Amino acid sequence: MVRVLLAEDMHLVRGALRALLAEAGDIEVVAETGHGDQVVPSALAHRPDVAVLDVDLPGADGIAATAALRELLPECRVLILTAHRRVEVLRAALAAGAAGFMPKDAPPDRLADAVRQVAAGQRAVDPDLAARALTAPASPLTEREAQALGLAAEGCEPREIAQRLHLSAGTVRNYLAAAQIKLDARTRLDAVRIAREAGWLPHPAS
C-alpha cells in the first residue's frame, strides 16, 4: 500500500483527489492539508511514501514545501500537481527535488499511475511539458540578470531589488538593462514577458 500525503487548498478539489486515489485500491491517503506550512509537520507525523502537492498552496507553496521535504524527510518523494503548464514551474519543481509533475487537466487515471511511479523511485513527468523543457533554448541571461528580472516581475523596483540581492541600485539597473538588450525587449515589462514565457525566470519566493 502506497501511503500518500495530499496537499490542496481547495476543499472540493482535495476531496475529489482523495476519492480518486482511494479508488486505486493500492493507495491510501494517510494525511491531508490545505496549507503549505503544514506539509512538513504533517509528513513528519505520518511518514507518507509520496506527498502529492498543489504548487499554489497558501503559506509555503508547493515548490518551497518540496525543498523542505527533500531536506527533512528525503524518503518521502514528491509529486507536484499544477494548473500551470509552464516550463519554468516544471524546472523549479525538479530543481527543488520533485520526482513527479502533473497538470491538473491530465486524465484522472494518470494520477494513480504517477503516484505509483514516484513511490517506486521513478520519475513521472507530463510528457508534453517534458518535451517542451528539453527543446526550450538555453537562457541568455546570467544568474544575476535572471534574479533581478524575476524580482522585477514580482513588482519590485530597482532599489528594493538591490536590497534583496545585496547589490547597489546602479548594478541592478545595469542587470535589468542587460537583460532587456539580450532579450531584444522594448521595455522591462516586455523583457519579463519574454523571459517568463521561455521559462527563464526563477520561481517566485513565497
Question: Count of residues for the chain?
Answer: 206
Domain boundaries, the chain: 2-134, 143-198
pLDDT tens by residue, 36-67: 999 999 999 999 999 999 998 998 889 999 99
- Please indicate whether the domains covering 2-134 and 143-198 agree at the CATH topology level: no
Domain 2-134: give its CATH architecture.
3-Layer(aba) Sandwich (3.40)
Predicted pLDDT of residue 206: 44
**Minimal CA–CA distance to 53: which of 85, 99, 95?**
99
pLDDT tens by residue, 147-165: 999 999 999 999 999 999 9
3-state SS of 111-145 is HHHHHHHHHCCCCEECHHHHHHHHHCCCCCCCHHH
Q: Which three cell numbers stand for residue 129?
A: 511539458
Q: Which three cell numbers stand for residue 68?
A: 523542505
Through-space distance between the first and last CA atoms of the chain, rounded to whole angstroms: 33
pTM of the model: 0.70
Predicted pLDDT of residue 200: 83
Q: Which three cell numbers stand for residue 162?
A: 538591490
Amino acid at 108: P
Contact 45/4 with Cβ under 8 angstroms?
no
Predicted pLDDT of residue 151: 94
CATH class of 143-198: mainly alpha
- 192: how many CB neighbours lie within 10 A of its CB? 21
Taking CA atoms, 191 is separated from 56, 61, 132, in Å, by 24, 25, 20
Q: Residue 2 is inside which H or E element, if any?
A: strand 2-7
For the chain (length 206 residues), average pLDDT per consecutive 10?
Answer: 95 92 92 95 96 91 93 96 77 88 85 94 85 70 91 93 93 95 94 86 63
Instruction: Return contacts of 149-157, CB within 8 angstroms, 24+ apart.
Output: 149/175, 149/176, 149/179, 149/188, 149/191, 149/192, 149/195, 149/201, 150/201, 150/202, 150/204, 152/176, 152/188, 152/192, 153/192, 153/195, 153/196, 153/201, 153/204, 154/204
